[in-house]
Amino acid sequence: MQRFIFRNKNKIALINGILIALAFIIRWTAGYMEIFTGLLVAASILGLIPIALQAYQALRVKVVSIDVLVTMAVGGAFAIRNFEESAIVTFLFLFGAYLEQRTLNKTRSAIKALTEMAPETAWKLMDDGEFEEIDIDDVDEGDTLLVKTGAKVPVDGRVLSGEGSINEASITGESIPVAKEAGSGVFAGTLLDNGTLQIVADRVGEDTTFGKIIELVEEAQESKSEAERFIDRFSKYYTPAILLVAILVFLFTRNVELAVTILVLGCPGALVIGVPVSNVAGIGNGASHGVLLKGSEVIRDFSRLDTMIFDKTGTLTQGKPSVAEVQSYGDGIDEARVFLASIERESDHPLALAVLDEIGETDYLEVTDTHVVKGGGITASVGGCRVIVGNQALMTEEGVPLSEQVREDMRRLERSGHSLVLTAVDGELKLLMGIRDPIRPGVADDLESLKKLGVKNLVMLSGDNQGTVDAISSELGLTRAYGHMLPEDKSAYVKDLIGQGEIVAFVGDGVNDSPSLALAHIGIAMGSGTEVAIETSDVVLMNSDFSRLPHALGLVKATSRNMIQNIVIAVGVVLALLASLIFGEWMNMSIGMLVHEGSILVVILNGMRLLRYKLRPSYRLGSRE
């Protein structure tokens, strides 16, 4: 019976409203007071049933809820035969609950949209060589799947064959399609705009990036912040206190209507709902913009940030070194490039890969007598020549003369943060390459936005040499930068700042920086939502999109402001209602309930503004949003 009543609570509110409307129409037109009173009595009893049941359930767990106060208030009004008040109060309370649920559902629109994007079927390659459509739950890791134009990618995996462009907005928040070809990674829930792809499943079901996003955002929206926990504790004692005040007022004044009105006006509904709706809407906005905020507590710490620490490689830089400048000396340069490529193709060192990318397609020669000099480079025989590839120290050790021009070029490149690769053939220096990990496009603007948003210190920690670190720091306008930092050095630095009372965020790749990510107040992971990044950090910037960071900080600050606004609105309305009751003549139970329900709607609508939040242009400074 209870389930039936709760399931039809909105219909009860509608019937309640119709009965009240009919009562007043009959009174104003025909003047039948008996029918007027009978309809109001029926409306009062009907409307009170779901409210009283909720009050009973609350009392069973020893909680004096708002429903208890309203039930007592309606019962009191009914006892003194104020049927107008009792009927109107029940309708306003039920209608307010309907509006509250309706608007709260809208704040969860990000989750609903994500869930609807989840694919339900997949085309699997069967043993007979044909593709067959199967339920998504029947897909296993290693299965080969077909994705056609306009279809959703069903799993995380990689492209085996075919080409196409995929809209990855559900993962990254970025609407520009991304080209895919053989070897490219793909995410579940993304949409193939054009082309046809065959992919192999790497992660399926809840283990996909898309599945983890939904799980994390749902958990985050259900989590409670310190402010919410305080309000829960406050309501636990505040509600019985209002009940006690109403009883004392009745004992001293013998005015039942006044005591009942205090019960109605003192309901802390807007206070209870105001903070959660802000958190839910803020987290939902982040999810739709490629920012995962893992819980309400993250919002509190993130919004009070003092210092933001960055790893260099893969965070401020692209994580893929490339040759930025090449200087050649003397004759036989083309031959030297072939010798260099022949040696470097046997290495998987990042600098070697950068050199091969620079040289491009060429004819390779046989390499013999290879000797690796630890910390220096390589010596080998190529095409009948002795070739030395490495740093300045190796050249000096091998007796390769370096002219003043070469030394000046080296100093210039080192000052600008380049790693050097020198190539000598038969004792003569032929090539000097300056290799650098390029800074992410737009990072300087994003860092300036963070400063405008109130971050006092921007610090870079890197395992690279201090010269390179200083060059990048100067280019980006960082507060401090330290090189030669091992993972344990980084975590020790974070711990020291926390010990000094600073609120610290660490931005890294979520793998080798996991100790620092876990130790900082806010761990922010770059890394396309990889499993390690998601598990270790508090915030995930999907697709390693650094430009989402200013949006994330602006969003949590807006969410914190929104929470405070809702608390002020809720407390202010209750105080104003009680003051009007004590010092004014016009306040009554119906007006109080109308204002009370209105305040709940106001704080919900105020919280919902966060769903449309975007970083103000004055903060964006060329952001790619």
Average pLDDT over residues 400-411: 92
pLDDT (tens digit per residue) in 38-64: 998 999 899 889 888 888 887 787 766
- Residue 93 clears pLDDT 90, i.e. is over it: no
pLDDT (tens digit per residue) in 534-582: 566 788 887 778 888 999 999 999 999 998 998 888 888 888 888 887 7
- Residue 169 clears pLDDT 80, i.e. is over it: no
| Closest listed residue to residue 202, CA positions, set 150, 137, 154 | 154
Q: What is the DSSP letter of 439?
A: B
Q: Are 625 and 547 in contact (CB under 8 A)?
A: yes
pLDDT, position 573: 85
pLDDT, position 6: 79
**Given phi > 0 = left and psi -120 to 50 = alpha, else beta, which region is 477?**
left
pLDDT, position 404: 92
Structure tokens given for 248:
């004392």
pLDDT, position 418: 83
CA distance 382 to 423: 13
CA distance 118 to 276: 26
Domain boundaries, the chain: 2-108+219-277+560-612, 120-153+156-203, 291-311+441-544, 322-436
Average pLDDT over residues 134-160: 89
- Residue 5 clears pLDDT 80, i.e. is over it: yes
Distances (CA, A) of 342 to 356, 357, 365: 9, 13, 6
pLDDT (tens digit per residue) in 455-472: 999 999 987 778 778 888
Q: Are 525 and 533 in contact (CB under 8 A)?
A: yes
Average pLDDT over residues 91-115: 62
CA distance 389 to 202: 39
Question: What CATH number belongs to 322-436?
Answer: 3.40.1110.10
Mean pLDDT of all residues in the chain?
Answer: 81
Q: What is the share, in percent, of the chain residues with pLDDT greater than 90?
A: 22
| Closest listed residue to residue 545, CA positions, set 440, 450, 620 | 440
- Residue 221 clears pLDDT 60, i.e. is over it: no
Active site residue 311: yes
Give me the DSSP letters along 130-166: -EEEEEGGG--TT-EEEE-TTPBP-SEEEEEE--EEE
pLDDT, position 423: 94
Q: Considering only 78-92, 292-306, 368-382, 611-625, which range has the smallest mean pLDDT?
A: 611-625
pLDDT, position 220: 47
- pTM exceeding 0.75: no
CA distance 243 to 69: 7
Bridge partners (DSSP) of residue 26 are none
- Residue 359 clears pLDDT 60, i.e. is over it: yes
Catalytic option among 67, 311, 446, 464: 311
**More confident call, 176 vs 343:** 343
Strand order in the sheet with 164-167: 178-180, 164-167, 191-195
Which residue type occupies 201? A
Radius of gyration of the chain (CA): 34
pLDDT, position 175: 46
Strand order in the sheet with 131-135: 131-135, 121-125, 144-147, 197-203, 156-161, 185-186
pLDDT, position 113: 54
* 551 three-state secondary structure: helix
pLDDT, position 521: 87
| Closest listed residue to residue 602, CA positions, set 251, 274, 169, 314 | 274
**The CATH fold of domain 120-153+156-203:** 2.70.150
User: What phi and psi, each to the nearest 5 degrees, are found at residue 440?
Assistant: -55, 140
pLDDT (tens digit per residue) in 584-610: 777 777 777 778 778 878 888 898 888
Which band of pLDDT confidence, cut at 50, 70 and 90, is reported for residue 529? very low
pLDDT, position 433: 93
pLDDT, position 511: 52
CA distance 190 to 318: 24
Q: Considering only 158-172, 261-275, 316-330, 569-583, which range has the smallest mean pLDDT?
A: 261-275
Q: Are 564 and 538 in contact (CB under 8 A)?
A: no
Max avg pLDDT among 78-87, 109-118, 532-541: 78-87
- Residue 358 clears pLDDT 60, i.e. is over it: yes
**The CATH fold of domain 291-311+441-544:** Rossmann fold (3.40.50)
